[in-house]
Amino acid sequence: MRVSPWIPAVCLAFTSLTGFSQQSTTDSQPAAASQSQSSSPATPAAQSAQDLPDSPGSQIHVSPQPAGPTVVFDSSMGRMTCKLFSKEAPNAVANFIGLAEGTKDWTDPKTRQLVHGKPLYDGTTFHRVIPGFMIQGGDPVGDGTGDPGYLFKDEFDPNLNFDVAGRLAMANSGPDTNGSQFFITEVPNDALDQKYTIFGQCDEHSVLIVQSIARVERDGNDKPLTPVILNKVTIVQDGQPLPPEPAPAAAPPAPAPQPQP
């Protein structure tokens, strides 16, 4: 089963259809009703005090701040660091940490064998990248069809949405189908709100790396032509230093000069 975040174009298409329906309904109204409305402008109803944004009874929704450990993604195109929402998405965070550190068993979808004590994410790829949207990884198969051999339920916080770039969230194929695949957003996208479990927030530098990865050459399935490898995923607890950043890959040695005939 392919695990894919919903692409906003679907939402735009639905909006267009809805707009057409509303326009048709308006045009079909009797002429008398239209004249009556135009000759008697509607008087807006008075707002109650509790509806005003600065009134004591109003509610201001503040996005929560992540208070959990930090996850460090060391990829072939650079490092990304994200703070985890351990309070808002405890199951997703625990699942991700367990798979990242190898403390949670999972089933290899290629061999159908139970894997114990081995991190799932190290050596996997970002198999789906879309510029202006997101990058997706965490599939042990590498084509969007893999999972860890189990699924778990969604976790939604009404104040935690895709209103900023750099959201780290679980990919799914429908409600309560979370496994190991995740994605990181490049831009805000309210079409994803309350449909995908957000369990982390990446910093600004990481979003720049996301932008770079999302713009590599890709095939018709949005898979990079040159694999973008997730070399290592590290979980860093509060108060602990980040691991040293890997040195850039060394350039291949120049070919030895060939002897002249």
Model pLDDT for residues 191-233, shown as the tens digit of each residue:
999 999 999 999 999 999 999 999 999 999 999 999 999 999 9
Query: Is residue 47 in a domain?
Result: no
168: domain CATH number is 2.40.100.10
Query: Is residue 82 in a domain?
Result: yes
H or E element that contains 229: strand 229-236
H or E element that contains 234: strand 229-236
pTM for the whole thing? 0.75
Number of domains in the chain: 1
Cβ proximity of 156 and 194 under 8 Å: yes
Closest CA to 210 of 169, 158, 161: 169
Query: Is residue 51 in a domain?
Result: no
User: What pLDDT, on a 0 to 100 scale, did the predictor assign at position 252?
Assistant: 57
Which pair of tokens denotes residue 132?
């202006």
Cβ proximity of 181 and 136 under 8 Å: yes
Query: Is residue 45 in a domain?
Result: no
User: What pLDDT, on a 0 to 100 scale, did the predictor assign at position 247?
Assistant: 79
Cβ proximity of 151 and 177 under 8 Å: yes
Query: Is residue 53 in a domain?
Result: no
Query: Is residue 21 in a domain?
Result: no
Q: Which residues pair with 247 in a beta bridge?
A: none
Query: Is residue 8 in a domain?
Result: no
Cβ proximity of 193 and 211 under 8 Å: no
Query: Is residue 99 in a domain?
Result: yes
d(C-alpha 248, C-alpha 240), whole Å: 24
- List per-residue pLDDT tens for the chain, 261 residues long: 445 554 444 343 333 333 333 333 333 333 333 333 333 333 334 444 444 444 444 456 688 999 999 999 999 999 999 999 999 999 999 999 999 999 999 999 999 999 999 999 999 999 999 999 999 999 999 999 999 999 999 999 999 999 999 999 999 999 999 999 999 999 999 999 999 999 999 999 999 999 999 999 999 999 999 999 999 999 999 999 999 988 776 555 666 666 666
H or E element that contains 182: strand 182-185
- Give, in degrees to the nearest 5, the angle at Cα 154 between 88 and 234: 60
pLDDT tens digits for 102-136?
999 999 999 999 999 999 999 999 999 999 999 99
Mode of pairing for the β-strands spanning 229-236 and 124-130: antiparallel
The DSSP line for 88-113 is: TSHHHHHHHHHHHHT-S-EE-TTT--
Full residue range of the structural domain in which residue 208 is found:
68-236
